[in-house]
């Protein structure tokens, strides 16, 4: 296709199409002529490159979504989706998956097979608290939004492959944006310093253990506005890690003095 095919819909259109497809298949078996028409319609729809379905109350992504092999953007935010089918891993061309403001409890490990995924938004799925280790395979991922969820710690798949080896490398090498605001994080791991391409990170509204005061600088109103947007960002992250190191070293020193 030379042009981008985009499909937007509401309860009466796209959602109805998805939810009635099984019924149509049954009817097609009984009526051979209808089967031909249904097959033709499916071939035409398979060329769609973008789905946008918002505020329809959709509860489940159908398994046959993987048949839309040309799909590049799948935006199902602001619905009532509780699970993502394992077949999502077959969508090799998918670049953007937007599932914020749903009711997801977990994410299937097969999503890690979407090798071209660049943008993933999972904000406001209140019961979501972990990601599968297979996420480390998403080498092209550069934007990840995990805000307003139930994470207690930063998932290992977002940080490093093996934490107990000092030479371990950050797996998501192209990650530039990481939004972790409004979770239940109590610490920022030092290994995040290895995420060298990270340009924006947000830890706002987390119960972090340490209180880190940033040095006040004379700034223009524009710079102050920018600083407000970047609060708890990369600069804060590095300051927090440095402060944690200092306190850890101080604790070790006190123990050594008492031990001697």
Closest CA to 209 of 192, 231, 191, 187: 187
Please report the pLDDT score of residue 191 as a whole number.
80
**What is the percent of the chain with per-residue pLDDT over 70, rounded to a whole number?**
65
Answer whether residue 205 shows pLDDT above 70. yes
Closest CA to 125 of 65, 179, 169, 81: 81
Please report the pLDDT score of residue 227 as a whole number.
52
d(CA 134, CA 152): 19
Please report the pLDDT score of residue 18 as a whole number.
65
Please report the pLDDT score of residue 114 as a whole number.
96
Answer whether residue 225 shows pLDDT above 80. no
Residue-wise pLDDT for 29-60, tens only, equals 455 454 455 445 555 677 889 999 999 999 99
d(CA 213, CA 239): 9
Please report the pLDDT score of residue 153 as a whole number.
72
Residue-wise pLDDT for 105-158, tens only, equals 999 999 999 999 999 999 999 888 888 888 888 889 999 999 998 887 777 777
Highest mean pLDDT among 123-127, 193-197, 246-250: 123-127
Rounded to the nearest integer, the mean pLDDT of the chain is: 77
Answer whether residue 252 shows pLDDT above 50. no
Q: What is the pTM of this model?
A: 0.70
Helix/strand/coil percentages in the chain, nearest 5: 35, 10, 50
Among 81-90, 149-158, 223-232, which stretch is predicted with the lowest mean pLDDT? 223-232
Please report the pLDDT score of residue 123 as a whole number.
94
Q: Which two tokens stand for residue 254?
A: 């006190």
d(CA 150, CA 141): 22
d(CA 94, CA 116): 6
Please report the pLDDT score of residue 169 as a whole number.
33
């Amino acid at each position: 296709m030379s042009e981008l095919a985009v499909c937007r819909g509401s309860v009466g259109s796209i959602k109805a199409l998805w939810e009635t497809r099984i019924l149509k298949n049954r009817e097609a078996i009984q009526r051979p002529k209808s089967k031909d028409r249904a097959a033709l319609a499916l071939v035409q729809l398979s060329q769609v490159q973008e789905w946008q379905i918002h505020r329809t109350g959709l509860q489940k992504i159908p398994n046959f979504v993987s048949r839309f092999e040309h799909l590049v953007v799948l935006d199902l935010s602001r619905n009532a989706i509780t699970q993502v089918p394992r077949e999502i891993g077959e969508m090799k061309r998918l670049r953007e998956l937007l599932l914020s403001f749903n009711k997801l409890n977990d994410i299937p490990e097969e999503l890690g097979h979407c090798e071209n995924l660049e943008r993933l938004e999972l904000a406001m799925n209140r019961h979501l608290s972990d990601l599968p280790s297979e996420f480390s395979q998403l080498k092209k991922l550069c934007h990840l939004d995990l805000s307003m969820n139930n994470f207690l710690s930063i998932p290992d798949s977002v940080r490093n492959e093996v934490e107990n080896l000092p030479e371990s490398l950050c797996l998501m090498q192209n990650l530039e944006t990481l939004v972790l605001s409004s979770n239940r994080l109590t610490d920022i791991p030092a290994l995040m310093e290895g995420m060298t391409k990270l340009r924006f990170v947000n830890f706002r509204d987390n119960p972090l253990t340490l209180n880190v005061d940033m040095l006040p600088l004379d700034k223009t109103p524009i710079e102050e506005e920018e600083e407000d947007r970047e609060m708890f960002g990369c600069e804060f992250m590095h300051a927090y890690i440095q402060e944690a190191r200092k306190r850890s070293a101080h604790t070790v020193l006190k123990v050594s003095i008492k031990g001697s």
